[in-house]
Amino acid sequence: MRTVRSPTGLTRLTGLTGLTGTVLALVTVLTLSGCQSRPTTSAAALSAVTGEREYRRPGPAVRRTPDGFLVVRSHRRAVGSGPVTRYTVEVEPSLTRHLPGLQTSTGLALGANNRGWAASHRLRQVGEPAHAQVRVLLARPATVDRLCAQAGYVTGGRLSCWNGRFAALNAWRWRHGSPGFRSLAQYRLYLVNHEFGHGLGLGHEACPAVGASAPLMMQQSKGLLGCRANAWPYPASRSTASARSAG
């Protein structure tokens, strides 16, 4: 290969043919002229030459389920002890941008083996809904209303539910949270843990006393009624043993 400078000041590579020579020639022109191209510009130039498109898919890999949702394909190792409860992490296709956050919040909530459900259950994320006992799904309010109505619940476009198959999380609540929580992140942990608790067979609880930590299975989205917001089945203010006996 030889580099030849033409009378116009441009650089030409000889001894190369076809697509490879064209791409290298472009790179050499930029290098010898002192220009620095950003990676995005270089990728775009390469795309223009090769005719190939560059695909970016942030977040976990997904596939479409037979009922039209997107499920995370990755598996997590089981945490906790006892008989295993398998779960999936899913979103409605229009909410794909929320999938990385949902995966993170669900992993934090269900992977905490000191104050989460893994303190009393063995949990594992799977990529196949048919193998899961609980399908954690983030969906539009209308979709959540439809799924919850199958179990006889009226969620009114603002609430979430467990319908016997889905821990159906309302996307409006996911974005806006509920008053009394320290942060949206805390509320999201609560929402995942609460609906998952129903999937484990637990019912609702009431606020025990003004100023007390709310039981996780209290309907905190409807108001705290004097209790303090709590996102965990076994919060630090309780001993694991007493929490297990109360469950």
Q: Quick one: pLDDT at residue 59?
A: 67
Q: Measured between alpha carbons, how far is 110 from 6 in angstroms, rounded to an integer?
A: 65
- 8-17, 54-63, 192-201, 205-214: least confident range: 8-17
In the chain, the amino acid numbered 5 is R
CA 244 to chain centre: 28
Confidence band of 60 (pLDDT split at 50, 70, 90):
confident
- Give the single-character DSSP code of 152: T
Strand partners, 91: 70, 138
pLDDT for residue 34 is more than 60: no
What are the CA-CA distances from residue 173 to residues 18, 51, 69, 185, 221 (Å)? 55, 43, 19, 12, 9
Give the count of beta carbons closer than 10 Å to the beta carbon of residue 211. 9
Output b/e per residue, 149-166; b: 16+ Cβ within 10 A: eeeebebeeebbbbbebb
Note the pTM of the prediction, 2 decimals: 0.73
Give the count of beta carbons closer than 10 Å to the beta carbon of residue 190. 24
Of 164 and 114, the one with more pLDDT = 164
pLDDT for residue 120 is more than 70: yes
Q: Give the residue extent of every domain in the chain.
A: 2-50, 62-202
Which residues, including other chains, have CB under 8 Å from residue 170's CB and lie 6 or more apart? Answer: 139, 141, 144, 155, 157, 158, 159, 160
- SS3 call for 105: helix
**What mean pLDDT value characterizes the chain?**
80
